């Protein structure tokens, strides 16, 4: 990967790589964002399932919400744009905890943090790098994995991101949702989300949301409503066809060599040694 290629689409802010679609001016001004008490934030490391959760929330009947584009996407006019929304705002972001605007923390807005097995996340991000013109080109899986392990990818290190959020896992306003659990029992995850948001839904409605939010349905709909910039949930593209690839659990096994797995696992063990969330991934490693 040429450095020129990287520097034309990514820039560093506070030692973390961001897309140039997130202007430095906006990133510098995040703390001037004024939150509302009923705001909901969908947070994740890239390629962890933000679109999926967003779809679930959009499919809740009578939810009276507006899904906005990510808080860090665009320039300084972003905050004026967000002020225009009258309904309850659901705002996606890939920011780590320390960069989250201070007003969100002070008002204890509801936050859903989506987390996915890092090996599957790495594979998914690799394909995103290859397919998305807003990200640097990358030649091989091996070259990309090296960048991923060093945290030299967009939004930085997976480990740092997850740990920054995990240290707030007992905050009452934060709900952790695992991608793998959604795959296993979507209805159960939907129930968790609606309860957390204080929205009453019947079992019949949960089944309906579950059907509408299945991966196949989302992928089909993505082609139909492809490039509507008002429906941009990812700070890295508005092209929905790039977003839904496989959505599989355990696909990493088709990419990692035994040596790569060993290197990854050693780093995981070292970085996540004090993490309670790490236990969740033992079944998927």
Q: Which residues are catalytic?
A: 94
Enter the DSSP assignment of 1: -
Regarding beta strands 65-67 and 40-44, do their DSSP bridges make them parallel or antiparallel, or are they unpaired?
A: unpaired
* 10 contacts 154 by C-beta, under 8 angstroms: yes
Can you point out the beta strands (E) in 149-209? 174-178
The span from the CA of 245 to the CA of 48, in Å, is: 12
For residues 221, 224, 228, 234, the Cα torsion angle rounded to the nearest 10 degrees is 40
Can you point out the beta strands (E) in the chain? 10-13, 16-19, 40-44, 65-67, 88-93, 110-115, 174-178
């Amino acid at each position: 990967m040429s450095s020129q290629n990287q520097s034309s689409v990514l820039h560093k802010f506070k030692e973390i790589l961001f897309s140039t679609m997130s202007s430095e001016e906006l990133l510098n001004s995040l703390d001037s964002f004024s939150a509302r008490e009923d705001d909901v934030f969908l947070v994740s490391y890239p390629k962890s399932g933000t679109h999926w959760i967003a779809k679930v929330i959009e499919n809740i009947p009578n939810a009276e919400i507006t899904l906005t584009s990510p808080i860090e996407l665009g320039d300084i006019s972003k905050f004026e744009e967000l002020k225009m929304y009258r309904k309850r705002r659901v705002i996606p972001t890939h920011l780590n905890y320390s960069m989250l605007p201070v007003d969100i923390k002070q008002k204890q807005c509801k936050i859903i943090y989506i987390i996915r097995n890092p090996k599957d996340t790495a594979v998914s991000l690799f394909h995103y790098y290859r397919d998305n013109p807003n990200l640097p080109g990358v030649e091989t899986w091996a070259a990309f994995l090296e960048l991923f392990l060093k945290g030299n990818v967009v939004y930085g290190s997976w480990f740092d991101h997850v740990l920054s959020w995990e240290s707030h896992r007992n905050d009452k306003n934060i709900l952790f949702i695992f991608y793998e659990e959604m795959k296993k029992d979507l209805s159960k995850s939907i129930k968790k989300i609606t309860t957390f948001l204080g929205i009453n839904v019947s079992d019949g409605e949960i089944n309906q949301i579950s059907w509408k939010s299945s991966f196949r349905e989302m992928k089909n709909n993505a082609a139909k409503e492809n490039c509507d910039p008002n429906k941009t949930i990812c700070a890295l593209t508005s092209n929905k066809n790039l977003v839904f690839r496989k959505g599989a659990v355990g696909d990493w096994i088709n990419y990692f060599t035994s040596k790569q797995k060993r290197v990854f696992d050693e780093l995981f063990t070292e970085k996540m040694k004090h993490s309670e969330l790490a236990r969740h991934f033992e079944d998927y490693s």
